[in-house]
Amino acid sequence: MGLDIPDCRHLLGSLSEYIDEEASAEVCAEIERHMAECENCRVVVDTLRKSVLLVRQLPRRTLPPEARQRLYKSLDLGDFLTGKPPRPGTP
Amino acid sequence: MTTHNTDEQLLLERIRSGDKSACALCIDLHADTLYRLAYRLLGDEAEAEDVVQETFIKAFMAIDTFEGRSKLGTWLYRIAYNQALMRLRRKEPAKVSVDEPIVTAEGEQIPRQFFDWCCLPEEDFETAEARETLEAAIQALSETLKPVFVLRELEGLSTAETAAVLQVSQEVVKTRLHRARLWLRERLAGYFTEYARTQTGD
């Protein structure tokens, strides 16, 4: 079973820090040394990094325009929907 | 003590004085991020919209109680998160995930998938189906892990900011983020491994 080996389990908890480049030099060295010998762990690290990259690249939703209009109106801010810059000191 | 930028202080003063243009600006600055959080937690656009509205209503009514010790965005996120959580509690009292990776007594998740799917061509990650798979995977994160994942990974909040929104320690944020990532990796591996096999005709 791939990651039952104590070394693999020991390093598993540090992998997020490692891919975020927040791990100490010592931990990085340990992980990299281990990956050179353990293909399963090498795959886990690479696919973990890839998974994070993929979700970060997903398109980001924004509040739909109709929803924005409803929101402004419900808060009595309908005057500000036209996109005209607000007059300073508007009550 | 963190000092927050003077622009934000000025905006707060204007909102407190009843300046509607300041309220509109506050919405412009924060509505999208709140919507994204609410949508991820509730999985429904209409409900997410409701949460955004409730959040701003509550925030503007309670603006005098906001002391500015955290960023305005953090405070708004917290209100939105709690609003979304209340709705979740009403809908789904208990949520059990199936096909979880092995979880040890310490709550550690043990990877089981070791096929290297990183080597797939980039366009295979950009298909509509791949996107849907990614979206579905995020939506399927547990209620404990999802808020951390959404705030840290998708909205780019720091560990400290995420901890402030969710009112947990930074250690908890780090642990949950790591578990969420491992869980996601496992789930994506299932899809992409199968996909790679169909490509090679295995």
pLDDT in tens, B51-86: 999 999 999 999 999 988 889 999 999 999 999 999
Distances (CA, A) of B150 to A17, A20, A89, B36, B164: 18, 16, 37, 9, 14
Q: Residue range B88-110: average pLDDT?
A: 62
Shortest distance, CA A62 to any CA of chain B (angstroms)? 5
Q: Which residues of B touch A56 (CB under 8 A)?
A: 153-154
Q: Which residues of B touch A1 (CB under 8 A)?
A: 112
Question: B60, B53, B191, B173: which is closest to B125 by C-alpha?
Answer: B191
Instruction: Output the pTM of the full model.
Output: 0.87
**Considering only residues 19 to 78 of chain A, which have any Cβ-Cβ distance to chain B shorter than 8 Å?**
39-40, 43-44, 46-48, 50-52, 54-56, 58, 60-64, 67-68, 70-72, 74-77
pLDDT tens digits for range B120-132: 999 999 999 999 9
Averaged confidence pLDDT in chain B: 89
pLDDT tens digits for range A7-45: 788 899 999 999 999 999 999 999 999 999 999 999 999
DSSP state letters, chain B: -PPPPHHHHHHHHHHHTT-HHHHHHHHHHHHHHHHHHHHHHH--HHHHHHHHHHHHHHHHHTGGG--SSS-HHHHHHHHHHHHHHHHHHHH-S----SSPPEE-TT-PEEP-----GGGS-GGGGSSHHHHHHHHHHHHTS-TTHHHHHIIIIIS---HHHHHHHHTS-HHHHHHHHHHHHHHHHHHHHHHHHHHHHHHHT-
- The residue whose two tokens read 């959040």 is B55
DSSP state letters, A54-78: HHHTSPPP---HHHHHHHHHHTT-G
Provide the percentage of residues in chain B whose pLDDT is more than 70: 89
Provide the percentage of residues in chain B whose pLDDT is more than 90: 76
